[in-house]
Structure 1
């Protein structure tokens, strides 16, 4: 069972086979993927294809299912996902989806299109890149079980609180119209054939792809450059000991970087060994995984500026407050 779980995690969800295939093709073309330019090209091609596959598969599946459920029926079924309970469910769902922030956006679109409340989908969007089972195990192996537990709890609290706060701001109308798709009327839904439903799902997938793809290219291109060209020692130098603004700086410095939690942990380990505060490290890791410029570039196509600003503001506030609290608590941990 463990081998099956590992296979599904690595080869199906993370698409490691795709990364290996692209690395092999680039190597055959004479490019060293360990070099900066080779690594940048590998990152760009792999992430673009991976995100497009996720986007198209998820939107097609959700749209096909949605063809059976007119808006009225969907609202009745999904009505149970309300309040903090729905946000907790969304945050916990994020822990079993090991995606970076950019890869989580197609699922955010799919869940929104399925009719889930905005707060629930945002709790998922915050939690998914920040906390997952594999990263928890890796953090535990490096920093110990207490740090892994703290990181997990803080991540889930921020996800639940962030989704809940934005839900109460009444910003549901700030999601782009194309994200919700074209609803199927009740009468039409009853008479559609399987071919009609496939055609409907393909149409919805194509429309979403056309709207989002340019932003995927821009976002991944920025991420590829940042991922391979920002030296780790620059980050470590800025977050030195005794700086009262270290948590704020860590959060702001982390935001432009594009990496998943696995790419962030080695930097966090180096910072930890240099005596940087635990709260500062937690804030940095969360900022890198949730608020990267590439992911926000893609998200800006999906939501309107007011909702984007609320999302960034709530996440930043949660990360900074948590960072200072856990720096203060570190002697007792």
Structure 2
């Protein structure tokens, strides 16, 4: 237990980095870490460096594993299952694709055009940006493992339920016709050498970091401002755990935004430290990643209005339910 706690504190929470940045702020910059400016600078540098270090290492490892499951092989695996087991597998496979929802939509088109049930592809589409493994590790580094594991479970349940509802509703005719006519070619996947897999993982790290670095900087900047400049009384007056509308408001605020989950984590961290319920913070994260307006606009190009409304409504109800449940029982996790 001692070894696990030490590894968790040093590798995930990076206490050594926290102390190093603290020395930098106080000894080099001459600022007080307990002051607003010093605290903001410490929060920003520490979180940015920690997130980029963890993100790069995790994406590399996940991408190396993912190199064994290219889209065609993934489609074949999913094609062997049916019913709720296929939805569960689709949701689980979504966790090993570290992409935002916009990046997942081309895979959704490919899976659907290859004949997979739309319920399965929607389970994949929900889980892919919501509960990828890298974000789970980062969530554990910010909060703890109980919170991270609980988040994974509810995210997967949301993906399975969402896909199942869409499957039961028989909404296949509400997918744009060009998706079904865009047939995938059966191409035998070339077996990659270890060197090729390493190069693939390296390129994935570079490409994903290019996509998310700005969102991370913005998210950490907002988190630093919330943590050090906005009084706790103001935050709790609007989003306090005792406010019945806090989860609803956080979800509504998250929808117009577009950011990767890595950019929302520092904001969630700062909100929780200011007394906001964990469910409210997680609802905000989920709304940004699963229901962002740009993602809905892209999805509208491949599905018709009725299917889009059913998808958005199902996910919204799931996020609200998860938020209120976490607020009610979140004290058991923190």
TM-score normalised by the chain length of structure 2: 0.63
1:1-333 aligned at under 5 Å gives the runs: 6-7=59-60, 80-182=80-182, 233=226, 238-333=238-333
RMSD: 3.5
What CA distance in whole angstroms lies between the structure 1 residues aligned with 2:117 and 2:101?
Answer: 19
Cα 1:271/1:173, change in 2 over 3 Å: same
How far did residue 127 of structure 1 move?
0.1
Match of 2:166, SS state, is helix
What CA distance in whole angstroms lies between the structure 2 residues aligned with 1:326 and 1:262?
Answer: 20
Cα 1:142/1:5, change in 2 over 3 Å: closer
5+ residue gaps, structure 2, are 1-53, 188-210
What CA distance in whole angstroms lies between the structure 1 residues aligned with 2:57 and 2:140?
Answer: 22
How far did residue 172 of structure 1 move?
0.9
How far did residue 332 of structure 1 move?
3.1
Given that 1:175 and 1:304 are in contact with CA atoms closer than 8 Å, whether structure 2 keeps it comes out as: yes
How far did residue 182 of structure 1 move?
4.8
How far did residue 7 of structure 1 move?
3.4
What CA distance in whole angstroms lies between the structure 2 residues aligned with 1:88 and 1:300?
Answer: 25
Match of 2:96, SS state, is coil
How far did residue 239 of structure 1 move?
2.4
- Per-residue CA deviations over 1:110-131 (Å, capped at 9, x if unaligned) read 1111111111000000000000
How far did residue 106 of structure 1 move?
0.8
Cα 1:99/1:183, change in 2 over 3 Å: closer
TM-score normalised by the chain length of structure 1: 0.63
5+ residue gaps, structure 1, are 14-57, 66-73, 195-219
How far did residue 82 of structure 1 move?
1.4
What CA distance in whole angstroms lies between the structure 2 residues aligned with 1:277 and 1:243?
Answer: 10
How far did residue 4 of structure 1 move?
8.8
What CA distance in whole angstroms lies between the structure 2 residues aligned with 1:326 and 1:77?
Answer: 34
Given that 2:265 and 2:285 are in contact with CA atoms closer than 8 Å, whether structure 1 keeps it comes out as: yes
Cα 1:79/1:98, change in 2 over 3 Å: closer
Match of 1:302, SS state, is coil
Q: Number of aligned residue pairs: give it.
A: 239
Given that 1:81 and 1:116 are in contact with CA atoms closer than 8 Å, whether structure 2 keeps it comes out as: no
How far did residue 79 of structure 1 move?
5.6
Given that 1:137 and 1:148 are in contact with CA atoms closer than 8 Å, whether structure 2 keeps it comes out as: yes
Cα 1:77/1:331, change in 2 over 3 Å: closer
